[in-house]
Amino acid sequence: MKIEITSKIKATLYEGYLPIAWGHLDPEGGKTWLGVAVAYTYEHKGYGTRIVKVLCEYADKGGWELWLTCPDNLVEWYRKFGFELTCQRINNHEEMVRKVSKERRAEKAIERCNKDINAGKKMCEWI
């Protein structure tokens, strides 16, 4: 098994040459949306968990909140990764969000500030 991350923020888990689970992060409307799928014959074997963990780690490094919609039966599963309900329903699916920790937001703000200073800017923006 291998997980491949491409430049378009997609992760694919393979068995040999066969993709068996995949996920992606899509920026849209000011939010970063998480999408995950697992081939039917490979469900309930931990492959979706591996994909979600990899994409959540990637999002954490970028300081991004993640959004998703899922059917009711997957709400508890996504809670294991830190997602919370938003009280919105979209097309009979629950909307959920995974917040970025305050510490990570502060780290990203400091990184941006240091880049601004190194680029010769006199002020930096804090979040």
Which run of H or of E encompasses 126?
none
Q: Are residues 73 and 112 in the same domain?
A: no
CA distance 94 to 70: 5
Question: Which residue segment(s) compose the domain that 35 sits in?
Answer: 2-62+66-99
In the chain the first and final C-alpha atoms are separated, in Å, by: 40
Q: How far apart are CA 65 and CA 24, in angstroms?
A: 14
| Residues 113-122 pLDDT 10s | 666 666 665 5
What share of the chain has pLDDT > 70, as a percent? 72
Q: Are residues 13 and 38 in the same domain?
A: yes
Q: Are residues 91 and 107 in the same domain?
A: no
Q: At which residue do the structure tokens 């938003």 appear?
A: 86
Over residues 27-61, the pLDDT tens digits come to 888 889 999 999 999 999 999 999 999 999 888 88
For 64, the 3-state DSSP assignment is coil
Copy the structure tokens of residue 35: 């999408």
